[in-house]
Amino acid sequence: MDTTTRTRTDAEPAVAARRNGPQGRPGPVAAGWPALWGGSLLYALTVLLLPTGAPSVSGTFQGLAAVLAVGLLTGVLRQRPLLALALTLTGSLMLVVLSRDVRQPDRFLAFLAADIALGFVAATRTRPVVLAAAAVSAAVQLLTAGGFAYGPDRLVAISVVALLGMVTAYVVGLLVRERREHGAALRRQAVAEAVTAERLRIARELHDMVAHSIGIIAIQAGVGSRVIETQPAEAREALRAIEATGRETLAGLRRTLVALRQADPTGAGPASAAPVPGLADLDRLAAATADAGVRVEVHRSGDQRPIPAEIDLSAYRIVQEALTNVVRHAATTHCRVTVEHGDGELLVEVVDDGRGAQHPGAAHGFGIIGMRERVALLHGAFSAGPRAEGGFRVAARLPLPADTHGPAVAG
């Protein structure tokens, strides 16, 4: 089967569903035809009976009744506004022509129904179609006024009222159209921003997850290759570290891929059941970094309470990326990680005594950018740069929700 045939075959169920609805029930297109034809027939009968069935009724009543009869054309106005305009113009013309009391100008009120239909046309159709519909409506109304106004004064008054009605309907329809298009543009912009934000989130997650692991693997591989002949035990230890880091990285990538493929928008499926790293895993992260040759001191202070998962993950990723930069760029064997649970905020700090201003990680790559983006999304404060006393410092202050820093609950 070629691409064209497959595309047509895949599109047929959607078309059938739109026409027939789910489970064989009539869809909006199929179910709309009875309302269209029924409403059109009832409107035509109503407008025809007004001058013929009740000839003694005043022209004002007949005109207003014809306007109210537009309610019968609700489905037509929404789906076929041009048909509704044709019906209302025809019905209004019939009411004016068949009226027994031709001297009453009030019967021209029936053309307000045509103005309503013109407003729907202006709100839903393209500008050339709207202009053509407005020209036809103006021609019918003005010619009808010229033929049945009976007197120059009445002709001028009826023509002015008719033009005002059409202009008002046209302007209102255009305003409705512009508002709808503006709303659609805002929705498209929101979707585009959401897609961009999701792409950035995935890029940050993949970068923070893979960069740290690859850095450790590269260092361990280098150590193993240098000591494989002279120190076999050390080489085996390096290989075990590479294997453990690789498995952990694969598990993290698998979690990310499952989350991306997860169809449930709430995330309440297998993806949400997978463990997500957090500050509780800092000791394991410190041990992996130590295997790469950098000893990490982890200091915790403050009232340690459960924090939201998003903040917990972001704090962990910030520490992870900072340690990756220390391993790859700082040329030091020691660094310090501080996690402080303060009053309404979480402070995360990574300090090393390495090359400081010569720290390449501060100027190249996406690590610092990703950390800054994570903190900005949580409305926190971030700083990264060399220290005056030497080395490099990465610090992030993340605000905590009110319910995470209140008094402890016993039990």
Closest CA to 294 of 322, 331, 319: 331
Whether pLDDT at 246 is above 90? no
Position with higher pLDDT, 275 vs 192: 192
What are the extents of the domains in the chain? 16-150, 282-411
CA atoms within 13 A on the CB side of 140: 26
Q: d(Cα 80, Cα 73) in Å, to the nearest integer?
A: 10
The highest-confidence range among 268-272, 301-305, 343-347, 366-370, by mean pLDDT, is 343-347
Tokens 């046209």 identify what position?
Answer: 170
Q: Which residue has the higher pLDDT, 188 or 96?
A: 188
What's the pLDDT at 381?
93
What secondary structure letter does DSSP report for 330? I
| Gap between the Cα atoms of 146 and 149, Å rounded | 6
Q: Does the pLDDT value for residue 3 go beyond 50?
A: no
> 352-382, pLDDT tens digit by residue?
988 765 555 545 557 788 888 889 888 999 9
Nearest to 316 by CA among 204, 406, 393, 195: 204
More confidently predicted of 111 and 22:
111
- What order of strands is seen across the sheet that includes strand 381-386? 295-302, 334-341, 345-352, 392-399, 381-386
Residue 52 or 164, more confident: 164
For the segment 130-149, what is each residue's pLDDT rounded down to a tens digit? 899 989 988 888 888 877 77
> Comparing 197 with 372, which gets the higher pLDDT?
372
Radius of gyration of the chain from its Cα atoms, rounded to whole angstroms? 37
Pairwise CA distance, residues 71 & 68, whole Å: 6
| Mean pLDDT within 63-79 | 79
Question: Which pLDDT band holds residue 156 (cuts at 50, 70, 90)?
Answer: confident
Pick the closest to residue 324 from 405, 234, 217 (CA basis).
217
% of the chain beyond a pLDDT of 70 = 75
More confident residue, 272 or 150: 150
Rounded Cα gap, residues 129 and 131, in angstroms: 6
Q: Are 177 and 124 in contact (CB under 8 A)?
A: yes
The answer to whether domain 282-411 has CATH 3.50.50.60 is: no
Rounded to two decimals, what is the model's pTM? 0.50
Q: Are 95 and 55 in contact (CB under 8 A)?
A: no
